Structure 1
Amino acid sequence: MTAVTLKQTEGAPSAFPAAPTGLSTAAAALDANMIWQRIEAYTAWRFTSRSIEWIVEGCGEWRAPLAPATITTVEEWLATNAWATATLDPSPTGGYMLPGDGPYRFTGTVGGGTAPAAIQEAFRRLAEYMAASKRGSPGTTREKVVAGSVMVDKSRSASWAAEAMSNSGAGDLLRNFRRV
């Protein structure tokens, strides 16, 4: 049996990692924090430390859904309507064994370390794609420019920004980071 995460409250990091080197001028001009936020929204890994709290219910095994996670406090909600410190046994897969229905509160930090090469390359691909796709008026799907006898007619999908992760190839590189 597996316990269920009811709520996840993730604090904001004080800063994101720096953008990787070797970006084009247009890609380097993009807000690097925006790119990191998109990568973190797509993955279960964090590369800068921030606070975390999970509320978990049910008995059985529970593992932190984000990585790398450091749990500093585990508490159980008691019938007296208060949190009390709980000591839980470890699970064989690196989580915790919850003996009762709970709910339990896990607090600590998540994130840290250096972004691996695959993450850095995903950042580069996503930034380059977004920089190249910014031409034209924001929000338009079709643009026609006529100058004398020359006409340029270009279009793009209305969902080009939403599809950036997959169309840029960044999503393929991030596949191994989707789950802990």
Structure 2
Amino acid sequence: MTGFRDFLTRFRPAASPGRAAPGGVPADRSAELRAELTPPLALLEQAEAEARNVREQADASAIARRREAEGQAETIVAAAHEEARQVRARTAEQVLRAADGEAAALLAEAEREEIAVRDRARSRTPALVDRVLALVLEDLTADEASTVPPGGHRAQDPERPHGGGS
């Protein structure tokens, strides 16, 4: 970069005021500007290159992190699926155990009711048999009484001939 003194020399008069001076070499302003701007532009190019490198590294880092996160996500999902399968198996086992317990309780209750019904049947059967027997005997007695006339003789059978032969 040019110094402050070089900068000020641009504004210094070429000669003292007075009569015309012989022709001089014109100043190359574009060369001076190029010499002045070359160092800052070089620094700017270097900064652009560094920014490009930082962006490329950031992109590579983002890709690596994304792949790592995808791998972790797959691992977590697989673990969750396995956990869900285990929970379903445990729940099914608990439900089956509960159903088995309920079925056993219902079976035991049914067996108790069966015993109670049999005991009731055993205790009621003799009385019912006596009643049925009494009703049958009563029916038989009533049938015999209706076939014997009040005089003590039996009514003749309509199919038997009247008279003396037996």
Structure number with larger C-alpha Rg:
2
TM-score (norm 2): 0.16
Is the helix fraction higher in 1 or 2? 2
Q: Which has the higher contact order (CA 8 A, sep 6+)?
A: 1
TM-score (norm 1): 0.15
